[in-house]
Structure 1
Amino acid sequence: MYRILMIEDDPKISSILSEYLTRYEYQVELIKQFDQIKDEFIRLSPDLVLLDINLPYYDGFYWCRQIRSISNVPVIFISARTDEMNQVMAVENGGDDYITKPFHLDVVIAKMKSVLRRTYGEYALNSFQQPTFDISGLFLYQEKHEMAWKDQKVSLTNKEYRLIHKLAEKVERIVTRDDLLEALWDDLDFVDDNTLTVNVTRLRKRLADIGIYDAIQTVRGQGYRLLVNWKSSS
């Protein structure tokens, strides 16, 4: 299921479009804090962004540049501005496509499918396939929050990916519980020792799903360590 971040300040449009996309089994996230869009983007880690131009505080061109400074996630502008200059500016500021309002819902779906297929499907560019980490053949992909081992691949939640990313930065070395708690922290969810324990358990399950066992070692009273001499099912 692809996660779509909708940056639209008109509640009627966002409600209609969100309901329609959900019917097509997309997970839709709505921006509520329009002065913190970059932070929300980082927290939610979407697969695609639907972005209006006329927004409070800063316009969509500004926020597209902010997103492009940290990610290559596809961005589709949806705007009431129909002139060619704004469409040119959308592309120059990092947009992948442009839809004018009023729009037909099926057109939005078709353009989304096309961009998602180019980005993540069989026609994806190699740049999107480059792993962030390669730990003895275990590949981590930050753009999609995925892990891959041989011919197996699994998607991770935001917290699961933050956890494995932090451990991967110090392979074979102890990462303290405090450091891991800091990596999991965000402004919306309360994070404590139980949260960390739960996410370590889930991450171990995700590793087992792709055939890797005993890769995360508990170091009593200190933290956890990612090992490379794990057991595998193949």
Structure 2
Amino acid sequence: MYTILIVEDDRKIAELLQSHIQKYGYQAVIVTDFEHVLEQFREIQPHMVLLDINLPSFDGYYWCRQIRSVSDCPLIVISARSGKMDQLMALENGADDYMTKPFHYEIVMAKIRNHLNRAYASRNEERVVQKAGLMLYPERLELQLQGKAVMLSKKEAVLMETLLERSPRVVSREAILNQLWDDSFVDDNTLSVNITRIRKRLAELGIEQALETVRGSGYRLSPIWEDHQTR
């Protein structure tokens, strides 16, 4: 059974979420001590976190960073804040998705199922996506080249998989956004941040200038590292 941690200081909303989640066969635990969220996270070891931004003591951005320092479990921010900057900050601090209040519980459940399936459904059958010796292991969030490895976040792994599968073709920005955020609203800056992170991960493997921005179209991953390996 999957366990979902609810970090929400509005007790009524938290209990409604808990009741709805448990109706679908998941376990839902509500955080009660908002000064020690990370300690409760470590103790419970949930498979997913639902996190509000406006919290006592420390805000949700802070706890998002703290959780990301120890886990890559799916994390959905649920907040009354609907501004672009709030959504951007949540994603930049490690959130996988963002929902604004008021929300429909069926949509919350659909997102929960989607993220849990992505994170855990294929755990027993490890996949590998490769191109010219560059190997991505999506389930373990690892990218390898010639025995050297770097770790990726969940978003980075999904983005890298999309680029690798279509390399050397151009991948449109719309296609990438649909893969990463399931049609949730995000602006161009958010995607640019994630592209920059992928370039940094490739650079750690000694791959420079392989990820190209095709103006007006999207992005292309060219396997130029293959040329270096054969020299």
- Aligned-residue Cα RMSD (Å) equals 1.7
* 1:226 corresponds to: none
Q: Which residue of 1 aligns with 2:14?
A: 14
SS at match of 2:63: helix
Paired residue type of 1:58? F
Q: Deviation at 1:127?
A: 5.2
Asked if 1:79 is matched to 2:68, the reply is no
Instruction: Report the AA paired with residue 93 of structure 1.
Output: N
Q: List runs of 5+ in structure 1 lacking aligned partners.
A: 131-234
What percent of counterpart residues are identical?
A: 48
Q: CA deviation at 1:100?
A: 0.4
- Structure 2 distance, partners of 1:108, 1:48, is 13
- Paired letter, 1:110: A
Q: Distance in 1 between matches of 2:79 and 2:101?
A: 6
Q: CA deviation at 1:117?
A: 1.1
- Tell me which residue corresponds to 1:34: 34
Q: How does 1:123-162 map to 2 (within 5 A)?
A: 126=137, 128-129=139-140
State the structure with more CA Rg.
Answer: 1
Are 2:122 and 2:139, in contact at CA under 8 Å, matched by a contact in 1? Answer: no
C-alpha separation between the residues in 2 aligned to 1:93 and 1:129? 21
Which residues in structure 2 correspond to 1:1-234 (within 5 Å)?
A: 1-122=1-122, 126=137, 128-129=139-140
The alignment's TM-score, normalised by the length of structure 1, stands at 0.53
Q: Distance in 1 between matches of 2:110 and 2:138?
A: 24
What letter corresponds to residue 21 of structure 2 in structure 1?
Answer: L
- Give the structure 1 partner of residue 144 of structure 2: none
SS in 1 for 2:109: helix
Rounded to whole Å, the distance in 1 between the matches of 2:84 and 2:76 is 16
* CA offsets 1:85-129 (integer angstroms, 9 cap, x no match): 100111000000001000000000001111111111139873544
Query: So what's the TM-score if we normalise by structure 2?
Result: 0.54
Change beyond 3 A, Cα 1:127–1:39: farther
Q: Which residue of 2 aligns with 1:223?
A: none
Give the distance between the partners of 1:48 and 1:128, measured in 2 at CA: 16
Measured against aligned partners, the alpha-carbon deviations of 1:169-213 in whole angstroms (never above 9, x if no partner) come to xxxxxxxxxxxxxxxxxxxxxxxxxxxxxxxxxxxxxxxxxxxxx
Provide the rounded CA distance (Å) in 2 between the counterparts of 1:91 and 1:44. Answer: 24
**Aligned partner letter, 1:46:** P
Q: Matched residues in 2 for 1:14 and 1:128: separation?
A: 30
Aligned counterparts of 2:30 and 2:138: Cα–Cα separation in 1:
28
| Number of residue-to-residue matches in the alignment | 130
C-alpha distance in 1, partners of 2:139/2:49?
A: 16
- Distance in structure 1 (CA, Å) of the matches to 2:59 and 2:97: 17
- Conserved in 1, the CA contact under 8 Å of 2:50 and 2:75? yes
Deviations 1:123-143 (A, max 9, x none): 98735448xxxxxxxxxxxxx
